Structure 1
Amino acid sequence: MKLIKTAIIALTLTVSAPVFADNPPTVHKADGVDILYDVALRPAGFVATILGSALYVALSPATAITSLQPPHDTFKTFADFIIVNPYKFTFTRPTGDYNFPQTEK
Protein backbone atom coordinates (compact mmCIF):
# COMPACT_ATOMS: atom_id res chain seq x y z
CA MET A 1 0.00 0.00 0.00
CA LYS A 2 2.89 2.37 0.79
CA LEU A 3 4.37 1.74 -2.64
CA ILE A 4 1.10 2.64 -4.36
CA LYS A 5 0.75 5.86 -2.35
CA THR A 6 4.34 6.83 -3.16
CA ALA A 7 3.80 6.08 -6.85
CA ILE A 8 0.60 8.14 -6.96
CA ILE A 9 2.30 11.11 -5.23
CA ALA A 10 5.30 10.89 -7.57
CA LEU A 11 3.04 10.70 -10.63
CA THR A 12 0.98 13.66 -9.41
CA LEU A 13 4.06 15.80 -8.82
CA THR A 14 5.51 14.84 -12.19
CA VAL A 15 2.34 15.70 -14.09
CA SER A 16 1.74 18.94 -12.18
CA ALA A 17 5.29 20.29 -12.61
CA PRO A 18 4.43 22.42 -15.68
CA VAL A 19 1.83 24.25 -13.58
CA PHE A 20 4.66 25.93 -11.65
CA ALA A 21 6.40 27.20 -14.78
CA ASP A 22 6.62 30.97 -15.27
CA ASN A 23 4.27 32.65 -17.66
CA PRO A 24 5.98 34.27 -20.62
CA PRO A 25 6.37 38.02 -20.15
CA THR A 26 3.72 40.13 -21.75
CA VAL A 27 4.85 42.49 -24.45
CA HIS A 28 3.89 46.06 -23.68
CA LYS A 29 2.80 48.12 -26.65
CA ALA A 30 3.85 51.74 -26.26
CA ASP A 31 1.16 54.32 -26.87
CA GLY A 32 1.46 58.09 -27.32
CA VAL A 33 1.57 58.85 -23.61
CA ASP A 34 4.48 56.45 -23.08
CA ILE A 35 6.39 58.08 -25.90
CA LEU A 36 5.82 61.52 -24.38
CA TYR A 37 7.08 60.28 -21.01
CA ASP A 38 10.14 58.84 -22.70
CA VAL A 39 10.89 62.16 -24.39
CA ALA A 40 11.46 63.58 -20.90
CA LEU A 41 12.86 60.48 -19.16
CA ARG A 42 15.54 59.45 -21.68
CA PRO A 43 17.48 62.75 -21.48
CA ALA A 44 17.12 62.66 -17.70
CA GLY A 45 18.58 59.15 -17.72
CA PHE A 46 21.45 60.33 -19.92
CA VAL A 47 22.22 63.17 -17.52
CA ALA A 48 22.05 60.72 -14.60
CA THR A 49 24.54 58.46 -16.39
CA ILE A 50 26.99 61.34 -16.97
CA LEU A 51 26.66 62.65 -13.40
CA GLY A 52 26.96 59.11 -12.02
CA SER A 53 30.17 58.59 -13.96
CA ALA A 54 31.65 61.82 -12.58
CA LEU A 55 30.55 60.91 -9.05
CA TYR A 56 32.04 57.43 -9.45
CA VAL A 57 35.41 58.89 -10.38
CA ALA A 58 35.24 61.41 -7.52
CA LEU A 59 34.35 58.77 -4.92
CA SER A 60 36.79 56.09 -6.14
CA PRO A 61 39.25 56.68 -3.26
CA ALA A 62 36.51 56.16 -0.69
CA THR A 63 35.29 53.12 -2.60
CA ALA A 64 38.81 51.70 -2.56
CA ILE A 65 38.94 52.02 1.22
CA THR A 66 35.60 50.29 1.68
CA SER A 67 36.57 47.46 -0.67
CA LEU A 68 39.33 46.34 1.71
CA GLN A 69 36.78 44.40 3.75
CA PRO A 70 35.22 41.24 2.29
CA PRO A 71 33.38 40.60 -0.06
CA HIS A 72 35.60 43.01 -2.06
CA ASP A 73 32.90 43.92 -4.60
CA THR A 74 32.32 47.55 -3.65
CA PHE A 75 33.54 48.92 -6.99
CA LYS A 76 31.20 46.66 -8.97
CA THR A 77 28.22 47.26 -6.70
CA PHE A 78 28.72 51.03 -6.72
CA ALA A 79 29.24 51.11 -10.50
CA ASP A 80 26.09 49.03 -11.06
CA PHE A 81 24.07 51.37 -8.90
CA ILE A 82 25.36 54.72 -10.11
CA ILE A 83 26.36 54.12 -13.76
CA VAL A 84 24.93 50.88 -15.16
CA ASN A 85 21.34 51.30 -13.94
CA PRO A 86 20.86 54.77 -15.49
CA TYR A 87 22.61 53.57 -18.66
CA LYS A 88 20.28 50.58 -19.03
CA PHE A 89 17.27 52.77 -18.25
CA THR A 90 18.32 55.23 -20.97
CA PHE A 91 19.66 53.05 -23.76
CA THR A 92 18.40 49.46 -23.44
CA ARG A 93 14.90 49.84 -21.96
CA PRO A 94 12.04 49.38 -24.44
CA THR A 95 9.80 52.41 -24.90
CA GLY A 96 7.03 52.48 -22.32
CA ASP A 97 8.45 49.63 -20.20
CA TYR A 98 8.98 51.16 -16.76
CA ASN A 99 9.30 47.79 -14.96
CA PHE A 100 12.50 47.02 -16.84
CA PRO A 101 14.89 45.00 -14.66
CA GLN A 102 17.79 47.20 -13.64
CA THR A 103 20.40 44.67 -12.59
CA GLU A 104 20.81 41.06 -13.48
CA LYS A 105 21.56 38.66 -10.71
Structure 2
Amino acid sequence: MIKIYHNNRPNVRKKVQSMNIYPHQCRAARALLGWTQIDLASKAKIAKQTLTDFEKEKRIPYDRTLADIVRALEEGGVIFITAEDGKGPGVRLLETPGARQTK
Protein backbone atom coordinates (compact mmCIF):
# COMPACT_ATOMS: atom_id res chain seq x y z
CA MET A 1 0.00 0.00 0.00
CA ILE A 2 1.37 3.40 -0.96
CA LYS A 3 0.83 6.22 1.46
CA ILE A 4 0.52 9.62 -0.17
CA TYR A 5 1.12 12.79 1.81
CA HIS A 6 -0.51 16.16 1.48
CA ASN A 7 1.43 19.40 0.99
CA ASN A 8 3.54 17.91 -1.82
CA ARG A 9 5.45 15.56 0.48
CA PRO A 10 6.84 12.53 -1.38
CA ASN A 11 5.34 9.14 -0.81
CA VAL A 12 7.48 6.97 1.41
CA ARG A 13 7.83 4.11 -1.08
CA LYS A 14 10.19 6.26 -3.11
CA LYS A 15 13.80 5.50 -2.41
CA VAL A 16 15.46 8.01 -0.15
CA GLN A 17 17.90 9.27 -2.74
CA SER A 18 20.53 10.73 -0.45
CA MET A 19 20.94 7.58 1.64
CA ASN A 20 19.89 4.89 -0.83
CA ILE A 21 17.63 3.05 1.58
CA TYR A 22 14.02 1.91 1.45
CA PRO A 23 11.93 1.13 4.53
CA HIS A 24 11.81 -2.56 3.51
CA GLN A 25 15.62 -2.64 3.33
CA CYS A 26 15.80 -1.30 6.86
CA ARG A 27 13.41 -3.99 8.13
CA ALA A 28 15.30 -6.71 6.25
CA ALA A 29 18.67 -5.50 7.53
CA ARG A 30 17.42 -5.58 11.11
CA ALA A 31 16.10 -9.10 10.59
CA LEU A 32 19.43 -10.30 9.21
CA LEU A 33 21.21 -8.92 12.25
CA GLY A 34 18.56 -10.16 14.69
CA TRP A 35 18.05 -6.61 15.96
CA THR A 36 14.84 -5.20 17.34
CA GLN A 37 13.75 -1.66 16.56
CA ILE A 38 14.99 -0.71 20.02
CA ASP A 39 18.42 -2.20 19.23
CA LEU A 40 18.75 -0.25 15.98
CA ALA A 41 17.39 2.97 17.44
CA SER A 42 19.92 2.72 20.26
CA LYS A 43 22.85 1.97 17.95
CA ALA A 44 21.82 4.76 15.53
CA LYS A 45 21.14 7.13 18.45
CA ILE A 46 17.66 8.01 17.17
CA ALA A 47 14.17 7.84 18.65
CA LYS A 48 12.46 4.46 18.34
CA GLN A 49 9.29 6.17 17.09
CA THR A 50 11.24 7.74 14.22
CA LEU A 51 12.45 4.29 13.17
CA THR A 52 9.00 2.77 13.60
CA ASP A 53 7.39 5.47 11.45
CA PHE A 54 10.02 5.03 8.73
CA GLU A 55 9.70 1.24 8.66
CA LYS A 56 5.90 1.47 8.58
CA GLU A 57 6.23 3.92 5.68
CA LYS A 58 4.51 6.72 7.58
CA ARG A 59 7.25 9.30 7.00
CA ILE A 60 10.77 9.85 5.74
CA PRO A 61 13.23 10.94 8.42
CA TYR A 62 15.74 13.74 7.94
CA ASP A 63 18.81 12.89 5.86
CA ARG A 64 21.04 12.97 8.93
CA THR A 65 18.78 10.47 10.69
CA LEU A 66 18.81 8.16 7.68
CA ALA A 67 22.59 8.42 7.58
CA ASP A 68 22.67 7.37 11.25
CA ILE A 69 20.46 4.36 10.47
CA VAL A 70 22.58 3.31 7.50
CA ARG A 71 25.80 3.78 9.48
CA ALA A 72 24.56 1.62 12.36
CA LEU A 73 23.40 -1.16 10.04
CA GLU A 74 26.62 -1.11 8.03
CA GLU A 75 28.68 -1.20 11.24
CA GLY A 76 26.58 -4.20 12.23
CA GLY A 77 27.68 -6.02 9.08
CA VAL A 78 24.96 -5.27 6.54
CA ILE A 79 25.63 -4.06 3.02
CA PHE A 80 22.98 -2.44 0.87
CA ILE A 81 22.41 -3.77 -2.64
CA THR A 82 21.37 -1.25 -5.26
CA ALA A 83 18.73 -1.74 -7.93
CA GLU A 84 21.24 -0.94 -10.66
CA ASP A 85 21.72 -4.61 -11.50
CA GLY A 86 18.08 -4.81 -12.60
CA LYS A 87 17.13 -7.18 -9.79
CA GLY A 88 15.93 -4.63 -7.29
CA PRO A 89 17.35 -3.26 -4.06
CA GLY A 90 18.08 -5.41 -1.05
CA VAL A 91 20.49 -6.16 1.76
CA ARG A 92 22.93 -8.90 2.65
CA LEU A 93 25.41 -9.65 5.37
CA LEU A 94 29.02 -8.72 4.86
CA GLU A 95 30.08 -11.19 7.53
CA THR A 96 28.59 -13.80 9.81
CA PRO A 97 26.05 -12.26 12.21
CA GLY A 98 27.75 -11.26 15.42
CA ALA A 99 31.22 -11.19 13.86
CA ARG A 100 31.22 -7.41 13.93
CA GLN A 101 30.17 -5.56 17.02
CA THR A 102 28.88 -1.99 17.04
CA LYS A 103 30.33 0.11 19.82
| TM-score normalised to structure 1 length | 0.25
Structure number with larger C-alpha Rg: 1
**Which structure has more RCO (C-alpha within 8 Å, separation ≥ 6)?**
1
Q: TM-score, normalised by structure 2?
A: 0.25
